[in-house]
Structure 1
Amino acid sequence: MTLQNTMDQLRDLRLTGMLEGLEHQLSQPTYSGLAFEQRLGHLVDAENSHRDTQRLKRLLKNARLKVNAEPEAIDYRPGRGLDRAVMADLLTCGWVERRQNVLLTGLTGTGKTWLACALGVQAARKGHTVAYKRVGRMLEELDVAHADGSLAKLRNQLAKVELLILDDFGLTQLGNRGRADLLEVLDDRVGSGATIVAGQMPIKDWHSFINDPALADAILDRLIHSSHKLALKGESMRKRKSSAQSSLDTE
């Protein structure tokens, strides 16, 4: 078999990483001195790395995160309320594997959405499926699903994802159906998936916001049990960036 035949077969078998690895070896004279087993090992490593990269791309595409937030860029500036040790633990994603929750609160512009997405990116890097939903939009989708008969399918999708990010909790008033749907989504995820809930409202006000004592008790029981709480503080990050840009523009 000729080298070209081998490369064609790698392409047909969709072993793209091995193909690119072989092309790299052929372009680098240093590989010619390695034993066959070593060169084969490099090709297997290249294929494995390629598959990991492609899987991460698929996970992030399916997650539909609002922002592509790199965990390495988390801002630990004093006054934000972020503890490096706590974040280091969260970034291991052990809480995702244990199906626990993160409750993320803070005023407008403090970086809740960005941080939630950074945790989502890290979870995807660890191989977990992730989905981002604004609470109001999710409830609209569930409302439509009630009408068109796709409710079971949508609820199953929300239940199966390993990390569900629910953003902007508290911005949309909850009607009777909305409260019930939110409870069903959270109940489906108990023991099967981790959830991030992000919103401006302090956790102590969530019960009164839900505005139904029985459903509020049930919803908060499912959220707060085994949860990690992060309360972001300080000035608006957007305002701070805008001020910094204005300063640069005037220099």
Structure 2
Amino acid sequence: MKHARVLVNDEILNVTVNDNNEAVTASGDVLANGSFKWMPPCEGKMFVLAINYADHAAELSFKAPEEPLVFLKNANTLIGHEQNTYRPDNVDYMHYECELVVVIGKEAKNVSKEDAMQYVGGYTVGNDYAIRDYLENYYRPNLRVKSRDTCTPIGPYIIDAEQIQEPHNLTLRTYINGELKQEGNTKDLVFDIPHLISYLSEIMTLSPGDMIFTGTPEGLADVKPGDVITTEVEGVGTLTNTIISETDYLASLH
């Protein structure tokens, strides 16, 4: 089953998503396209992996890490499907990062690798935008790089874990205005899902709704206002958002 959160008449509803990717309310009503806004499908802590594909490390002239490189993001960065991400003025390079996102399904603390997959509630698609101008090194993706408002589209929905038979063999793709720019596969993760859950659960308790952004493969490209970015993970979903200017973003707040 697919689970989503939508905004209808200023009210957030928990809905399911049918095989036609239509939102269906608890009472069985199908919501017409345009009558609602897609929201991030879950709320929780966000753990984000840096350099978790060897080809991406090589692309950035880094070596693959010996242990997971993890940073946290805040909820201000999250937006839903078909929403806008702004590009700050006067930056030289801003890029997408298509990622498989693991959503924790039950409380996890000191979980073994052997048992870790039992704690996965589902999966969704994430796009972890970065402002490359301000990157110090891969250990410190600082606030200006990764923590801006609107810079983390996620969704459209969470698909139940049991519907994804082999999460370590899924193709990831990113398109700019319909042109394929990035393609990789989760089989190339440096640290797989059981490793990440075990590692993180040793540091802190994982709770239902927590998200693990598992990293992005090679194939980065600069994005500009007006670009429509589509990120997809095979079997999980397709996530689309549009890049706008900082000027337009600020104007939308008033």
Q: Which has the larger radius of gyration?
A: 1
With normalisation by structure 1, the TM-score equals 0.24
Q: Which structure is higher in RCO with an 8 Å CA cutoff and minimum separation 6?
A: 2
Q: More helix by proportion, 1 or 2? A: 1
Q: More strand by proportion, 1 or 2? A: 2
With normalisation by structure 2, the TM-score equals 0.24
